[in-house]
Amino acid sequence: MKHLIVAASALFIASPALAADLSIPYTPAPVVPVAMPASDWSGFYAGIHAGYGWGTTDIEGADFDASGWLAGGQIGFRQQMDVFVLGLQTDLSVANLSTDEDLIAGGTADWYGSTTIRAGVAATDAVLVYALGGIAYAGVTATDGVEDISNTHLGWTAGVGAEVALTDNVSVFGEYAYSSLGSQTYEFASGDTDVSFDTHIVKAGLNFSF
C-alpha cells in the first residue's frame, strides 16, 4: 500500500511536466498584405484640356514667331495588354496662336486638332507614360496687311506624355507635342503666297473613362 501511494504521488508530480512536453507550440498565421488593384486603362474615354503653343509661321521664306493659348476636348479608346497600352485619340481645340499684331504680314492658328496613335507603358499601378504620333490639322488665317485669307493646313505630329489615375474613372494628364502643318498657298490680290505653320504645344487636362 505504501509503495502504491508513492507511485501515485510520483505520477501526479510528473503529469504537468509530461503535459508540457506533449503540448504543440502555437505559430500565428502570417499576415498577408492586401494588394491594391492596379488601374486598367482599357476602354473609351473623353475629356477636356488647355495649353500653350509657340512656333513659327513661314510666309514666303520669312519666319514670324507665333504663340498663344488653346483649349478643347478629346475622345479616344485604349487597350491594355499586361503593362503595355495601345490607343487612338482625336482632339480638337479652339486656339489663338498668332504672330505679333504689330507686323504687317502674319498668321494665326484659329483652331487646331490631331488624330494620333498612342503607345505606352503602365509604369506603376496608377501612372501611364506614352508616346504619340499621327496627323495634325489646323485652321490658319494669314494676312498680307491688306486682306485676310483662311486655309486649312494638314501635317504630322509627334510627342510624349504621362497620365495619372485619380480614381477608377478620372485621370489627369500632361503632354508635349511638336506639329509640322505643311504649306498652303494663299491667293492674295497682291499675288499667291505660300504659308507654313510649325508649332510646339504643351497641355494638361482631365480624362473621364467609361
> Would you kindly state where each structural domain of the chain is located, as residue ranges?
43-209
The confidence score (pLDDT) of residue 180 equals: 96
In this structure, the dihedral spanned by the alpha carbons of residues 146, 103, 203 and 43, taken in order and rounded to 10 degrees, is 20
Cell of 140: 490658319
Give how far Cα 61 sits from Cα of 57, 58, 107, 193, 200, Å.
Answer: 9, 6, 14, 10, 20
47-106: pLDDT as tens digits? 999 999 999 888 887 888 999 999 999 999 999 999 999 999 999 999 999 887 666 678
- Model-level pTM? 0.78
Class of domain 43-209: mainly beta
Q: Tally DSSP H helices, then E strands, for the chain.
A: 1, 8
End-to-end CA distance of the chain: 90
